[in-house]
Amino acid sequence: MTEERDWVDLENRVAIVTGAGRGLGREHALMLARHGARVVVNDLGAGLDGEGNDDSAASLVVAEIVANGGEAVADFNSVTTPEGGQAIVETAMKAFEQVDIVVNNAGILRDKTFHNMTDDFVEPVLDVHLRGAFNVTRPAWEIFRSQGHGRVINTSSAAGVLGNFGQSNYAAAKAGLVGLTYVLALEGAKFNITANAIAPVARTRMTEDILGKLADAVSPELVSPLVVWLSSIECTDTGSVFTVGGGRVARFFTAMTDGWTRTDGALTPEDVRAHWEEINDESKFTVPNGIADDFRALRRALRGSE
């Protein structure tokens, strides 16, 4: 087999990458273009806290892609409004008459402990990460449905999956993206639309102060190979959340302990206290792949004896 045949091919695909002017988004845009995709490089060029704008971020990435022989167009709209999302998708349609891939990557940080968290820290973070994904994916979704294929890659975070001190706003937005991903996977299945989420670990301005010794190992371009693979037609897996960084790619999944069941319909708080250890016992668990598996486990538990 030649190397060329092994190539993950995105020829004839059009990708939108939000927040692609720097950091991870920039690397995704460059690598998607290297694999043949035509790319909309969206970025309003905001500061880390979401304030300000600077067109040069997206423009420079487009210039780099074009200099490498690829095709790209810059877009400076904010993802935070439905109009912005619509305009980003229109940029793709105007330039390339097509959209096949949406990488929701734009992000900001406004860290505070919950005790100090005020609306001006909550709303902008939810707007960029969570509403931003709705705003951009919704207009693209109509195109995906009518053409019978599409790829959505949402950028979650370990903070959303596992929690992180001082990031209640960010973690809530990132966990919201996991829920959104699961539902898009279910609703997109019959239209050949896949939706997956990534939880990256990479050295960018967002993380430069917190990575410590890990910083040297986690260059941002080591996240993009997963994005390219999930963007390809060849990858049909959907509804997963992957942790990716420093060369490692792994999958998060949700497990459920077998728990303890009282089958006579008379569960009391004292039962819960008495059986707390079994309820939390991780030695016996299942990995539900959807609500039906949860219901199935419940029916099985109710049939079984105590």
Which residues would be at the binding site for ligand NAI (CB under 6 A)? 18-19, 21-25, 42-46, 48, 50, 57, 78-80, 105-108, 128-129, 155, 157, 200-202, 204-207
Nearer to ligand NAI, 54 or 281 (CB): 54
Q: Which residue is nearest to ligand NAI (CB)?
A: 23
**Residue 182 a catalytic site member:** no
Q: 35-38: long-range contacts (C-beta < 8 A, 24 or more apart)?
A: 35/7, 35/8, 35/9, 35/10, 35/228, 35/232, 36/9, 36/10, 36/11, 36/12, 37/10, 37/11, 37/13, 37/100, 37/101, 37/231, 38/13, 38/14, 38/70, 38/71, 38/72, 38/73, 38/95, 38/96
Q: Of the two residues 25 and 188, which places its CB atom closer to ligand NAI in the complex? A: 25
Closer to ligand NAI by Cβ: residue 25 or 239: 25
Angle (nearest 5°) at CA 51 between 48 and 53 = 95
Nearest to 256 by CA among 226, 291, 230, 206: 291
Work out how close the CB of 174 gets to ligand NAI at its nearest, in angstroms, rounded to a whole number.
7
Helices 56-67 and 23-34 cross at an angle (nearest 10°) of 20
Catalytic residue, chosen from 96, 141, 170, 260, is 170
Nearer to ligand NAI, 195 or 260 (CB): 195
Q: Give the pair of three-digit tokens for residue 101.
A: 């891939």
Taking the complex as a whole, the smallest distance from the CB of residue 50 to ligand NAI amounts, in Å, to: 5
How many residues comprise the chain?
Answer: 306
Nearest approach, Cβ of residue 251 and ligand NAI (Å):
16
Q: What angle do CA 104, 105, 108 make, to 5 degrees?
A: 125
Q: 43 vs 111, which CB is nearer to ligand NAI?
A: 43
Residues noted as catalytic: 170
